[in-house]
Amino acid sequence: MVANTPEMKYTIQSPQRLISAPVLLPASKSISNRALILKALSKSSFAIENLSDSDDTEVMIAAFSDNQYEINIGAAGTSMRFLTAYLAQLEGEEHIITGTERMKNRPIRILVDALRQLGADIEYVEKEGFPPLKIKGKELTGGAISLDGSISSQYISALMMIAPAMSNGLILTLEGKIISRPYIQLTCQMMQDFGVAAQLDDNIIQIEHQNYIPTPYFVESDWSAASYWYEILALTNDNVNIELLGLQEKSSQGDAKIAELFDYLGVSTTYTEKGIRLSKNTNRPVKFVYDFVNEPDMAQTFVVTCCLLNIPFRFTGLQSLKIKETDRISALQKELKKLGYIIVDFDNSILEWTGEKCEPEENPVIDTYEDHRMAMAFAPASLALGKIIINEPQVVSKSYPNYWRDLLKTGFKGF
């Protein structure tokens, strides 16, 4: 592989025939990052097995091992949110947490306001409402607070995980429509795995003051990473199978829903002892309508797939996409227009394609906006276009460092 540089780009060429090679998927960074916080809160000496090797997890590991006054988490949004809450309850310690320029423009006021209500001492170092943050750790009093349920579930999970350390525990009421509920349920399940009782009742989360129990933990593979292989099989004309290793049928990951969703787009899932096997089927909807409120990270994969399959769609529940690694709604519109597709958004929460097209660029170059999912969702477009150029392909290291290597193994070329 080529060394990463700021000007780096890959020209992804479609394979002459897709090679049916087994793919070992990366460990889930969502589970890995939660496990690291819970290990620290439980003061566990047990190792966490199969930790993700993603950038997001590496910065979490460094934060716990380096013990630096200033913690730079780069572009890792999950790490920023989880560590902000963790550091707030770390009595007697003071830290500054910062990140990339993009991170300094990702809002964090909602989490900071909530932590302050619960007793935290947090100051903004530069711009009000945004990182970097100066955090003086102390015992948090806790209590009852309310949050808008449509905010990022990472704010909610961050508060949940430190709730047992609060002297009065936490009663968190989520108002309105709750997005990414499976991630909240994942946090609840993992807290229980570490010995803490967390009660999730519709829109109310109750967690009493209690102690975590040190626990050995194994991280399962990432269903989000699997989505790009579903996309590849949906777009190829080759009648091949793809085996994805390390996935579990009874997974606590909300993105496991993709197995059901891609069945409508021509990809069947068979569960095996080692993971899953993907194969082609003849399903093809006239129009695909779905509410991604529980799986917003999968929106890019399905938007690109449906366009290239010429399947009109209407996807709702995308309100959190504006505050991800980039404004994913705007990014999808801009990049798909290069391929000849006119995507319309409504209220920053709905994306729709009616079949409207424009003249595509002759040699489209896809910008990735420091967003790993933009690179991984657009690379399979080479199957439909013959080739596609991806700018700054190194961004995949945020969640799936071996993505390009795995594509090479299955027959993609040119990089």
Average pLDDT estimate for 147-155: 89
Residue 177 has a pLDDT of 85
Domain assignment present for residue 149? The answer is yes
Residue 289 falls inside a structural domain: yes
Q: Please state whether the peptide bond connecting residue 132 to the residue before it is cis, i.e. omega within 30 degrees of 0.
A: yes
Please report, to the nearest 10 degrees, the dihedral formed by the alpha carbons of residues 377, 5, 399, 59 taken in order.
Answer: -160
Domains of the chain: total: 2
Distance in angstroms (rounded) separating the CA atoms of residues 350 and 143: 35
Question: 55, 56, 255, 297: which one is catalytic?
Answer: 297
Residue 18: closest CA among 201, 249, 241, 290: 241
Residue linked to tokens 């730079």: 72
Within-domain flag for 86 = yes
Residue percentage of the chain with pLDDT more than 70: 97
- Residue 349 near residue 200 (C-beta atoms within 8 A): no
87 in Cβ contact with 94 (< 8 Å): no
Note whether residue 415 is domain-resident: no
Same domain, 211 and 302: no
Considering the domain architecture, whether residues 51 and 81 belong to the same structural domain is answered as yes
DSSP labels, 136-190: E------EEEEEETTS-HHHHHHHHHHGGGSTT-EEEEEESPPPSHHHHHHHHHH
Q: Under a CB-based contact definition with an 8 Å cutoff, are residues 322 and 329 in contact?
A: yes
**Do residues 60 and 34 make contact, with C-beta atoms less than 8 angstroms apart?**
no
Judge if 76 and 208 occupy the same domain: yes
The answer on 140 and 195 residing in a single domain is yes
d(CA 322, CA 305): 20
The pTM of the full predicted model, rounded to 2 decimals, is 0.86
Average pLDDT over residues 331-338: 96
CA atoms in the 13 A half-sphere facing the CB of 107: 10
Judge if 182 and 54 occupy the same domain.
yes
**Range 129-141 average pLDDT:** 97
Same domain flag for 234 and 356: yes
Q: Above 50 in pLDDT, residue 330?
A: yes
For residue 112, is pLDDT > 50? Answer: yes
- Tell me, what's the pLDDT at 67? 82
Specify whether 168 is located in the same domain as 247. Answer: no
Kindly state whether residues 188 and 241 are assigned to the same domain: no
**Is 2 within the bounds of a domain?**
no
What range defines the domain where residue 204 resides? 29-218
- Choose one of 218, 235, 251: the last residue of a domain: 218
- Please tell me the predicted confidence (pLDDT) of residue 179: 83
Write down which residue in 174, 191, 218 finishes a domain.
218
* Residue 1 forms part of a structural domain: no
What single-letter DSSP state applies at residue 61? H
* Mean pLDDT to the nearest integer, 318-323: 74
For residue 4, pLDDT over 50 is answered with no
pLDDT at residue 107, as a whole number:
92
What is the C-alpha to C-alpha distance for residues 247 and 273, in angstroms, rounded to an integer?
9
Instruction: Tell which residue, 328, 311, 310, has the closest CA to residue 319.
Output: 328
Residue 85 token pair? 């809450």
- Mean pLDDT, residues 104-118: 96
Verify that 21 and 80 share a domain, yes or no: no
Structure tokens at 139: 């015992």
CATH number at residue 349: 3.65.10.10
Is the residue at 414 inside a domain? no
Q: Are residues 187 and 289 in the same domain?
A: no
Q: Are 36 and 135 part of one and the same domain?
A: yes
Q: Examine the domain organization and report whether 144 and 185 are in the same domain.
A: yes
Sheet of 121-124: strands edge to edge?
70-72, 94-98, 133-136, 121-124
CA–CA dist 323, 362 (Å, integer): 31
Could you count the other beta carbons within 10 Å of the beta carbon of residue 176? 11
Tens digit of each residue's pLDDT (9 = 90 or more) over 377-400? 999 999 999 999 999 999 999 899
In DSSP notation, 213-241 reads ----EEPPB-HHHHHHHHHHHHH--S---
Q: Do the bridges between strand 204-207 and strand 170-175 make them parallel or antiparallel, or are there none, so unpaired?
A: antiparallel
As a whole number, mean pLDDT of residues 214-224 equals: 95
pLDDT tens readout for residues 50-92: 999 998 899 999 999 888 999 999 988 899 999 999 999 999 9
Query: What's the mean pLDDT in 344-348?
Result: 89
Q: Which helix or strand (DSSP H or E) is residue 110 part of?
A: helix 109-117
Collapsing DSSP states into helix, strand and coil, what is residue 369?
A: coil
DSSP annotation of 83: H
Residue of higher predicted confidence among 410 and 176: 410
297: annotated active-site residue: yes
Number of Cα atoms under 13 Å in the Cβ half of residue 77: 21
**CB distance 253 to 30 below 8 Å:** yes
- Among the candidates 193, 218, 243, a domain finishes at 218
